[in-house]
Amino acid sequence: MLKKQASNTTRIALLLLFLAYFGSTNLFYHSHIINGSLVTHSHPYSGEANQHTHSTESLFVIQLLGHFSFISGIMIFIGTLLCSFIARIGLSDVIKKIRQESLAYGINKAPPYQYI
C-alpha cells in the first residue's frame, strides 16, 4: 500500500515538474539583440519583454544551461540507440558473460600497494 502511494506521489510530482518546465520554456519565450547577435531564450520574467535585460553573467549562465540541455539530450539519444543496437544484434548475453567473468576473476580490484 505504501509503495503504491509513493509511486502515485512520484508520478504526480514528475507531472508537475514537467508542466512547470514546459510552461517556463514555452510561455516566456523572448529575444534580445546583444552586441549585434540575436539571443533567444525563455524564462519567467515580470514586466515588458522589451525592457527586460540581462547582465553578462546571466547571459553566460543562460548559454551554459542551453548547451548542457542540448548535450544531455544528444547523450541520452545516443545511449538509447546504442542499447537498442546491442539488444538487436544479440550482444546483451555476451556483455553479461564478460561482466560475470570479470567479477569472478577479480579484475575490478585495486592495484597492489607497497608501503616503503
pTM above 0.85, yes or no: no
Give the pLDDT score at 99: 73
Give the chain's domain count. 2
- Domain containing 69 equals 53-108
> Per-residue pLDDT tens for 75-90?
888 988 888 888 778 7
Give the pLDDT score at 64: 80
Same domain? 3 vs 28: yes
Beta bridge partners of 42: 29
Flag whether 116 is in a domain: no
